[in-house]
Amino acid sequence: MKLEHIGIAVKDIEQSNELFAALFDAPHYKIESVESEGVKTSFFQVGASKIELLEATSPDSPIAKFIEKKGEGIHHMAFEVEDIDAEIKRLGERGFKLIHTEAKAGADNKRIAFLQPKSTNGVLIELCQDKG
């Protein structure tokens, strides 16, 4: 696995795009909404990894609930795998609890699945694989 991106929950993605563009001295390279997750995302390339900003598009979005509970900040870490179906199976067999037991469509042309943070020391972990 390699660290593909870190997801950061933000209240106002337009404002945060400006903030992170100033931080990295480079603009985001894409904005994309994922309706099924109720989020609008933007991506910054930072070396070999990326930063994904996430803004809720509805009050019942997981990002809205996260910000309500914990405020803005690091939401998840995403690891790229070569075969997401095999990894879901392997991790399930090792006793990890998965939020998605089947890979689903995510942002940035990826198939994704999330693990339950309860089974990973409180860290929300996303597995992702390029659709190619």
Beta carbon of residue 119, minimum distance to Zn ion (angstroms, whole number)? 18
Q: Which helix (H) or strand (E) holds 127?
A: strand 125-130
Q: How far is the CB of 105 from Zn ion (least distance, A)?
A: 12
> Between residues 87 and 126, which has the closer beta carbon with respect to Zn ion?
126
Distances in Å between the Cα of 15 and the Cα atoms of 37, 63, 73, 96, 112 are 21, 17, 14, 36, 27
Binding site for Zn ion (CB under 5 A): 7, 52, 78, 126
Q: What angle do CA 8, 77, 97 make, to 5 degrees?
A: 125
Residue 27 or 51: the one with the smaller Cβ distance to Zn ion is 51
Quote the least distance from Cβ 86 to Zn ion, whole Å. Answer: 20
Which helix (H) or strand (E) segment holds residue 115: the answer is: none
> Which CB sits closer to Zn ion, 80 or 96?
80
